[in-house]
Amino acid sequence: MSTTTSSQTRKISLFIMMALQLAIWGAWAPKLFPYMGMLGFSAGQQALVGSCWGIASVVGIFFSNHFADRHFAAERFLAASHLIGGLCMLGAAYSTAFMPFFAFYLAYSLVYVPTLSVTNTIAFANLKEGKDFGTVRAGGTVGWVMASWPFVFILGAHSGPEEVRSIFIVSGVISLVLAAFSLTLPHTPPKKGGDDVDALAWRRALGLLKKPFVAVLFFVTFIDSVVHNGYFVMADAFLTNRVGIAGNLSMVVLSLGQIAEVLTMLVLGTVLGKLGWRKTMIVGILGHAARFLAFSFLSDSVASIVAVQLLHGICYAFFFATVYIFVDEAFPKDVRSSAQGLFNLLILGVGNMVASSLFPNLVARLTGVDGIVDYRTLFLVPAGLATLGALVLAFAFHPPTAAPAGALEDA
pTM for the whole thing? 0.84
User: What are the tens digits of pLDDT across the range 375-389?
Assistant: 999 999 999 999 999
Contact between 78 and 186 under an 8 Å Cβ cutoff? The reply is no
Q: What is the mean pLDDT of residues 348-360?
A: 90
Q: What is the mean pLDDT of residues 18-29?
A: 94
Q: What is the mean pLDDT of residues 85-106?
A: 97
Contact between 223 and 388 under an 8 Å Cβ cutoff? The reply is yes
Residue 332, pLDDT > 80, answer no
Q: What is the pLDDT of residue 208?
A: 78
88: number of CA atoms within 13 Å, CB side? 19
Where is average pLDDT lowest: 22-36, 223-237, 263-277, 379-393? 263-277
Residue 62, pLDDT > 70, answer no
Q: What is the pLDDT of residue 201?
A: 60
Rounded-to-integer distance, Cα 96 and Cα 91, Å: 10
Q: What is the mean pLDDT of residues 193-197?
A: 53
Contact between 171 and 89 under an 8 Å Cβ cutoff? The reply is yes
Rounded-to-integer distance, Cα 70 and Cα 67, Å: 5
Contact between 294 and 305 under an 8 Å Cβ cutoff? The reply is yes
Rounded-to-integer distance, Cα 58 and Cα 53, Å: 9
DSSP line for 130-165 = GGGHHHHHHHHHHHHHHHHTTHHHHS-TT--HHHHT
The DSSP call for residue 400 is S
Q: What is the pLDDT of residue 334?
A: 66
Instruction: Indicate the SS3 state at residue 39.
Output: coil
Which residues does 368 contact at the CB level (< 8 Å), separation at least 6? 374
Q: What is the mean pLDDT of residues 299-311?
A: 94
Question: 128: part of which helix (H) or strand (E)?
Answer: none
For residue 113, what are the CA distances in angstroms to 61, 168, 230, 397? 9, 16, 19, 30
User: What are the tens digits of pLDDT across the range 207-266?
Assistant: 878 889 999 999 999 999 999 999 999 999 999 999 999 988 998 899 898 888 888 888
User: What are the tens digits of pLDDT across the range 121-180?
Assistant: 788 788 776 556 667 878 888 899 899 888 888 887 788 899 999 999 999 999 999 999
User: What are the tens digits of pLDDT across the range 43-52?
Assistant: 999 999 988 9
Percent of the chain with pLDDT over 70: 89
